[in-house]
Structure 1
Amino acid sequence: MVRAQRFERASARRNSWPAKRKPLKKDVPNIVVIMNDDVGFGAPDTFGGPIHTPTLSKLASRGVAYNRFHTTAICSPTRASVLTGRNSHNIGAGQITEAAAGFPGYTGTIPKSAATVAKVLSGYGYDTAAFGKWHNTPVDNLFKTGPFDQYPTGLGFSYFYGFIAGETSQYEPRLFENTNPIEPPYTPEEGYHLTEDLADQAVKFIRNNRALTPDRPFFIYFAPGGTHGPHHVHSEWADKYKGKFDMGWEKLRNITFQKQKAMGWIPDTAELTEMDPTMEKQLRCKKCVKLILPEARRASFKDLPLALTLKASNVFETT
């Protein structure tokens, strides 16, 4: 009797019971967002550049590609905007998290009023996961005791595997699984490379989702960091571009410019801006290009296992 009275009093305080989650339609799409770091519009051959990116080209041919798209040109602000759909300054992400300050727009903390797309989709029953670079957690949150509300798992992702920083070693990365620091699954001597590991983990996530909850759609945020420094590339990938940049930067950008005109990505009337004559020539740039572009190609090829897994799981057409 006492328990019944307590239950009645408690239930009387509630205006109504929480609404049940509406079942998703059967034709809702799976979603995969791929974000590559420090790769210019004129880098992939999809857009007239020198990097062979067949997976990206295939995806572009099946959908819509934009030649006008805003980014902030800085890591944390761009990622925050992509994940929330808001101007970076309106959500405290006007600068990279390491340079956060107490001024409006620069706190480095995404407010609860700005839900991420993962948070919204999870509310509709999506299985959500983030892989790779995460550069939106304040540095004073990076303790084993938290707080964890600004980690991926605190911002709508049910699973996270990657690194929480602007950059990390591709051979010996500082990895996190959800909120826990972990060691890479094998060593560089055994052939470890972070980009490949991220692709493997994403493939595993898709397979688990299809095997255990086939009626539940998924959202994957795949953000490898290999094209951001430090540039760690296996020779098998770097050798593919040996001698391809010996013509120099000025000629290379002219070739790319003309290809983009021919492909319709830029207007026929566009004029290439001249190089700043006051800029000091850096001989090391050729070496940087030889490292960055092969890693961008590797990243594109590591998108392929994701696409193949989607096909094998019979969900490619709905993703």
Structure 2
Amino acid sequence: MTNDQIFQDLTNEVHKQVIGQDKPLRLITAALFASGHVLLEDVPGVGKTTLAKTLAEALRLDFRRVQATPDLLPQDLLGALIYRPQTGDFELRRGPIFTQILLFDEINRATPRTAAALLEAMAENQVSIDGNTDPLNPPFFVMATQNPLESQGVFPLPEAQLDRFLIKVTLGYPTWDEEQSIIRRFRTPQTAQIQPSQPVLDASDILQIQQACRDITVHPDVESYILTIVRTTRTKAEFLMGASPRATLALTAMAQALAFIDGRNYVLPDDVKEAMIPVLGHRVQIAPEQRALGKTEAAMLAALLEEVSVPTEITDSVSN
């Protein structure tokens, strides 16, 4: 099965439960293949949980969902050591983080302490419980949802935590035709009995794909293109905070995964363009005067992209 056929089969299975959302699904799948994590910023009810659960079914991965609240404690997420009087020993009661796909709903309603516990798992693929370190079963993939900052009762995520997410994606509202299809498919219990998704991949397949993505060729000219984009965010006055070297690695990894999905063994500038805003949008901050003019990070990054020269003739040089 070719790489592009793998993604097409995966998309077909997800569409048994999720209508539309082709672009977000492509980006989320690429983030998984790039060994990263995803931050979803959206209003409730647009299908984030359904998308995550259906994706887990199509990938034959364990799935857990955690609803973040201000009283959610780290041990509620990680688990705790429980004393067993019968044996006189402590036994680890594992929390919901011991899964393969974790949907952490409304992450910015959790306290910073609980969010920090999730951060270690995302960064190190392990958790620390009462001084003991336990590895997580790979692949470990976090999809965290975030409410808009104007919502009530939210804690803005610090830059260090935002930086741990490979991409930030917005699902958005469905189109007229898509929402009409949602009504017709799910309006009654009888019509909602949709055929469950059939597994397309399993954990071992995904680990092989993640390694294959790391082996995708990045031409020196494409490397220079990535570096120019990232470093320009640090020098332009319109940006209060530019992207870090971790962002450079993230943009490269995401471009490699998109190339893999398209069935290529090399990265094109178009892969970098497609990945740029999802990867850098939550890692940079624009100056207050730009925000006062109604501009956003995404708009400023799109304008920056128009200023950077695009390398040419990559395909021929890589093929040779």
Please indicate, yes or no, whether the TM-score normalized by the shorter chain is above 0.5: no
| Rg larger in structure | 1
TM-score by length of 2: 0.25
Give the strand-richer structure, 1 or 2.
Answer: 2
TM-score by length of 1: 0.25
Give the helix-richer structure, 1 or 2.
Answer: 2
